[in-house]
Amino acid sequence: MSEVMIWTIVFVVLSFGLYMYIGFAARVRDTKGFYVAGQGVPAIANGAATAADWMSAASFISMSGLISTMGFDGAVYLLGWTGGYVLLALLLAPYLRKFNKYTVPDFVGDRYYSNVARAVAAVSAVFISMTYVAGQMRGVGVVFSRFLGLDINTGVVVGMIIVAFFAVLGGMKGITWTQVAQFFVLIVAFIIPAVAISMKLTGNPIPQLGLVFSDIVPKLNQLQVDLGFKEYTQPFRSRSMIDVICITFSLMAGTAGLPHVIVRFYTVPNVRAARYSAGYALLFISLLYLTAPALAVFARYNLIQTLHNKPLTEVRQLDWVNSWEKTKLLKFDDKNADGIVELKPVAKDSEITIDNDIIVLATPEIAQLAPFVIGLVAAGALAAALSTASGLLLVVSSSVAHDIYYRLINPKASEAQQLLVGRIVIFIAVVAAGYFGINPPGFVAEVVAFAFGLAAASFFPIILLGIFDKRTNSQGAIAGMLTGMIFTAGMIIMMRSVQLLGTATPIMTDFMGISAQGVGVVGLILNLVVTLVVSRVTPPPPAHIQEMVESVRVPRGAGSASAAH
């Protein structure tokens, strides 16, 4: 057993043991604890939990990998996700907290005085969350396959079991305190290797300063040009300007509409705490997001220097190459049989194939950092994936058990019945998430981008108009949500028909130059237009609903959440 595997096992066993202990210690026996952690979470703890909930496997594993591969164009993920969180914190979170409900479908159902609207929102929340959680399970599988010698499918199953344990027992209370621990694991695991690599390549221990005040970027630009690529920092080399803009806005609006992030603001005691927890979360998130671009540049530079134009026999003697080749996420194909492997701009001509999802995980090994650092990165990646997966599974559970079963099917259900249904739904959702983790429709960040697009097209316009336009009515909201969700889901399915439907070629490659990751913006616009038009040609909301909207705009005085009709 290698030293890397020993350290990985140590960190994984310790961190998983901590998560399971917290989940057991924070187990709950009532719906308020299960859905909103009893609304007793301090602002700073909720900020850390929100950061962990939001910084998923896509942030930890895929984002730096995408920036590393795509250069400037990969920054759409950085800009979209960060900008969206600011949008959520300033524009939506305090108002939603004032509303005093447990879930986003609760807000939609009561604000639009319609059980149909509630049902559409609940189904949308489940659909979005299951799409998102598939990316997390894929990330878990990638980590386990490399660092613990399991195949990806087995790794996904192990992750499913761990998440199910603390999510089923503790509900939101268990998940929240587990996420606080997971935040510290993932942020330490991300920053330590970034500092070590920065010191090694630039002589500066602060990655951001190493990136800006060294010659690493000009050297990387020159390397790229020498290999036939465009300069690393040149914009719009892999995506058109319209696509970059649309992906950025889709990710921003999607972040602001994500049900598993929004529900975090219901777990604090009051509106003031919601605002403070948003500020803390943004501070904690910035620790990773301001480090990711530097790590991406270092990873790209290191990768080219280590692999390109090297003898295949020499490359295969590297321990990390051997390990990653076994996962089939790193492949070599000496197409001209000259014994030398070359990285080329056109994917079909390149003799080196690297999955985006392994770049961050492999970088500490490529940089020959200490084995304990490599093991720590593995534990951090798992923490990122599991923290978000647990939050998403709770959204699925609350959408089915609270918003559909309790609010629509059995309003007289007891606390025990609601908890039982919620826990059963988590089990079913975990199994479904595992299936999609084993059979993903793309790499981690791409799958997550689809979820953000669906959230942007369905929830964001309805929540925004629900707070700021008292004339928006139930007919408009239902028509808008259905239009946005159906259009966006249909576009994604057609553009990803090879993976999802098994077609030989995609039914569509893009929509007016916009890719599957950015098409949510079109769905958002359609949702807004349909909602506003239908609302204006149908009767206005009842007077008490309009008064409620007016009161929600003043985010003061919110008390305990209510599950009452």
* CA distances to 94, 150, 264, 342 from 391, in Å: 20, 25, 9, 42
The DSSP H or E segment spanning 47 is helix 43-54
pLDDT surpasses 70 at 557: no
- Cα pseudo-dihedral 6, 12, 13, 19, rounded to 10: 170
Rounded Cα–Cα distance for residues 220 and 215 (Å): 9
Helices (H), 399-502: 415-438, 444-468, 474-495, 497-500
Q: What angle do CA 97, 101, 102 make, to 5 degrees?
A: 105
Least confident of 105-119, 155-169, 366-380: 155-169
User: What is the structure's pLDDT at 25?
Assistant: 81
Token pair for 299: 């990873």
More confident residue, 481 or 57: 481
More confident residue, 523 or 366: 523
Just give the CATH number of 3-302+369-440. Answer: 1.10.4160
Q: Give me the mean pLDDT over the 114-139 stretch.
A: 84
Q: Give me the mean pLDDT over the 299-324 stretch.
A: 89
Please state, rounded to an integer, the average pLDDT across all residues of the chain: 85
User: What is the structure's pLDDT at 564?
Assistant: 47
Helices (H), 203-266: 207-212, 216-226, 241-256, 259-262
Which residue ranges make up each domain of the chain?
3-302+369-440, 304-356
Token pair for 378: 């593995």
pLDDT surpasses 60 at 548: yes
235-292 pLDDT, tens digit each: 988 889 999 999 999 989 988 887 777 778 878 888 788 888 888 998 999 999 999 9
Q: Give me the mean pLDDT over the 155-173 stretch.
A: 77
User: What is the structure's pLDDT at 391?
Assistant: 80
User: Which pLDDT band, with edges at 50, 70 and 90, does 354 fall under?
Assistant: confident
**DSSP β-ladder status, 310-311 and 340-341:** antiparallel
Q: Give me the mean pLDDT over the 169-183 stretch.
A: 81
User: What is the structure's pLDDT at 565?
Assistant: 44
pLDDT surpasses 60 at 559: no
Share of the chain above pLDDT 90, in %: 31
User: What is the structure's pLDDT at 34?
Assistant: 75
pLDDT surpasses 90 at 511: yes
Which residue in 137, 188, 232, 563 sits closest to 375, CA to CA? Answer: 188
375-416 pLDDT, tens digit each: 888 889 888 888 888 888 888 888 888 888 988 899 888 888
User: Which pLDDT band, with edges at 50, 70 and 90, does 537 fall under?
Assistant: very high
pLDDT surpasses 70 at 326: yes
